[in-house]
Amino acid sequence: MSAVAAVETAIAGVPTLTATVEEIVDEGADTYTFRSTLDDPAARQAFRFLPGQIHMVGVFGVGEVPISVSSDPAAPDVLAHTIRVCGRVTHVIEGLRVGDHITLRGPFGRPWPTERAHGGDLVIVGGGLGMAPLRSVLYTAVRERSSFRRVLLLVGARDPGQVLYRAELESLRDAGHDLDVHFTVDHADDAWPYREGLITSLFPVADIDPAASTVFTCGPEIMMWFAMRDLSALGIPDDRLWLTMERNMHCAVKLCGHCQVGPYFVCADGPIFRWDEIGPVMGVKEL
């Protein structure tokens, strides 16, 4: 069997489902959240996903892009995918309207290991669009709040207009869920009520307990690199530092090689990695 045939056979083993767009939320900064419902009632009833897993989201005749599911795993009947417009496929998706159809293949990948933080502190660090892959784990943490000693959410962005889900995060903070939430932006305006500075400047403010903390983080790779470095320096063991990687996935079944980083395939071995796994290869420019 040729390599192309092998990829096609593997992809055929993961059904492509159609879904109807029910709502489109303009998140600002060329970013939109599409809420959709699977068209097949049986598939909709059976569908499950775990926090941090991804879908290959597409449009027939155009292509697919890997997007994290950004909705609550406990309510899989309506799925949310937050998408920033940055390429051919996402430009087509941007033009969709309520009632239009998308394709979904998956879910794929290793999820956030929320159970690793049970009994201790869960620290969620999201930079910019990186809040999208973390949103499902935040919903899980709120629902399972008694499983954690503290839940800390540290949110950073380039400017106030790029703070993803700001109103929702403020609402969750104020709703009595016992969440410790901190915001910062690189460049503030006069109306910004929170801190100004890099997201790593929030670490001392949040009073992180290295002995009790498990960290989940997502954001630009350079942000994650410095965040992991500083959190490790605080004394948090590398096997309790977790991040999610983004790569240009095509097959999503570990065959095409487009998402390979060193020995890992992001679609299957990730997208969630421990820092002691992925850190050594993140620093290699050729990878």
Report whether pLDDT(135) > 80. yes
Residue 53's contacts (CB-CB under 8 Å, 6 or more residues apart) are: 68, 69, 106, 107, 108, 109, 111
What's the mean per-residue pLDDT of the chain? 92
Q: 114-282, what's its fold? A: Rossmann fold (3.40.50)
DSSP three-state, residue 111: coil
Task: List the Cα angle 68/53/168 in 5-degree steps.
Answer: 50
DSSP three-state, residue 250: coil
Taking residue 200's Cβ as centre, other Cβ atoms within 10 Å add up to 18
Q: 3-108, what's its fold? A: Elongation Factor Tu (Ef-tu); domain 3 (2.40.30)
Q: Convert the pLDDT of each residue in 169-224 to its tens digit.
A: 999 999 999 999 999 999 999 999 999 999 999 999 999 999 999 999 999 999 99
How do strand 179-185 and strand 54-59 relate by DSSP bridges? unpaired
CB 87 within 8 A of CB 65: yes
Taking residue 201's Cβ as centre, other Cβ atoms within 10 Å add up to 15
Q: Map out the domains of the chain as residue ranges.
A: 3-108, 114-282
pLDDT at 283: 65
Report whether pLDDT(96) > 70. yes
Extract the tokens encoding 40: 């097949």
The candidate with the shortest Cα–Cα distance to 55, out of 22, 83, 86, is 83
Residue 84's contacts (CB-CB under 8 Å, 6 or more residues apart) are: 29, 30, 31, 90, 129
Report whether pLDDT(6) > 60. no
Q: Convert the pLDDT of each residue in 244-273 to its tens digit.
A: 987 777 788 888 888 888 888 888 888 999
Q: Which ranges of the chain does DSSP label H, i.e. alpha helix? A: 3-12, 41-46, 88-94, 131-143, 166-174, 202-205, 221-234, 275-282
Q: Convert the pLDDT of each residue in 232-251 to its tens digit.
A: 999 999 999 999 987 777 78
When mean pLDDT is compared across 13-17, 78-82, 226-230, the lowest value belongs to 13-17
